[in-house]
Amino acid sequence: MSQSLAPTTWGPYQLEWGTRTYIMGIVNATPDSFSGDGLKQADLTVEEVVKQAVSQAQHFAGEGATFIDVGGESTRPHALRVSAEEELARVIPVIRAMRQELPPETIISIDTYKAIVAEQAIAAGANLINDIWGFQYDPDMAVVAAEQGVPVVLMANMRGIPKKRDIISDILRFLSTSIDKALAAGVEWERIIIDPGIGFGMTPEEDVTVLRRLGELRSLGRPILLGTSRKSHIGRILGGLPASERLEGTAATVALGIAQGADIVRVHDVREMLRVARMSDAVVRGSFALE
């Protein structure tokens, strides 16, 4: 587990690793999220989209989410890329409103791989950068993170890698490079979080292998974020279930991931996965109080 890791502190925030599993709720300000929970629809005004996003974030915070992860570009396979301008138009009004309406202790994460989006999102009230390319897409992203002094989630992304060998070794190499880029830019070691990138350029068999061997990533010495919620390998393993029917499969991956050392789980179903995390923490970490 992660008991030996120093806390991540910045501003008024502190994350104590190894004491419990943190929940990150997903708010997609996109029309094409794979899970069908995107908020930005053609027949809605910007104000209506913002209102829906804030309501969903408040709901998640009330259910126990420590993080709200806001994304303005779908990262599902074959999704259309959007410009930085369009992404900013989607996320900045949402983040600005969330910062005003959410409890001050709620951490708002910006899910982007574009440095300009990350920088403006932090100015609008975001507190953390979640980069699906682990600082290996936009060369300015590491500099922005260092200058802003916020924690970063560095995700391994296997898309486009021509010859994979051992999937865990591939992920470890990718993340080692990402960590080196972060440190070289001045990001503090204690503010780095890693994500194996389940579902990004992997086969279902590889996704399951990563879950089974997740604990090997602890060799990198950083907290682990796990994002399996409603992903396609769950649907395929359970006989072709659509995203809306993958709750139980997601719960299994969350529990098994915590047993392997996950410190944060990124989910669509906050209330249910918080319960799974609490039960898992009671067994794995011995952290529980009887009522």
Of the residues 218, 222, 231, 246, which is catalytic? 231
Could you identify the residue written with the tokens 């001050």? 104
Beta carbons of 230 and 246 less than 8 angstroms apart: yes
- d(CA 198, CA 250) in angstroms, rounded, equals 12
Of the residues 222, 266, 271, 278, which is catalytic? 266
Q: What is the DSSP letter of 73?
A: S
- Give me the phi and psi of 290, to 5 degrees please: -75, 140
- d(CA 97, CA 47) in angstroms, rounded, equals 10
Task: Please count the CA atoms within 13 angstroms of the CA of 38 that sit on its side-chain side.
Answer: 18
Name the 3-class secondary structure at 40: coil
- d(CA 101, CA 62) in angstroms, rounded, equals 12
Beta carbons of 283 and 291 less than 8 angstroms apart: no
Does the annotation mark 266 as catalytic? yes
What's the CA angle centered on 194, arms 110 and 133, to 5 degrees? Answer: 60
- d(CA 266, CA 153) in angstroms, rounded, equals 12
Biggest CA-to-CA distance, the chain? 53
Q: Hey, which residues does 25 pair with through a beta bridge?
A: 68, 267
Beta carbons of 247 and 202 less than 8 angstroms apart: no
Q: Hey, which residues does 28 pair with through a beta bridge?
A: 71
Name the 3-class secondary structure at 243: helix
Which residues are tagged catalytic?
231, 266
